[in-house]
Amino acid sequence: MSDSARIAQTHGESHYAVIFTSKRVDDSGTDYEKAAERMIQRAAQQDGFLGLDSVRDRDRVGITISYWRDAEAIRAWHDVAEHRNVQELGRRLWYSEFAVRVCRVERSYSFGLPKSIE
């Protein structure tokens, strides 16, 4: 997440989170970056998408959490052909390992400084 990025706001009723933890290979390159950006844009167009938080460290370990209204929205995203194609590329080219966890968020709250203080 860049310095200008915002933390996803998911207040309100319970919802779901998909936690994708991965380790990229050394030479995943710009094709990976383009595909990742495209998947973020595509997910944001999906019915039930609530937001996303993503970070990656210097050792190439990343955690992306996408938030969804319900389990049906997650299944619909999983079934998008373009998403499935990029997942296959990830297995073959970009990741040395990954794990996916799906969980229900029972409550959510946050804090943020006023924009004038940031």
Question: What does the mean pLDDT of the chain come to?
Answer: 88
pLDDT band at 109, cuts 50/70/90? confident
pLDDT tens profile 31-48: 898 999 999 999 999 999
Residue ranges and CATH numbers for the domains of the chain are: 15-105 (3.30.70.100)
pLDDT digits (tens, 9 = 90+) for 48-60: 999 999 999 999 9
Q: How confident is the model at residue 118 (pLDDT cuts 50, 70, 90)?
A: low
Beta strands of 1-118 (E only): which ranges?
15-24, 49-56, 61-68, 95-105
**C-beta neighbour count of 108 within 10 angstroms:** 16
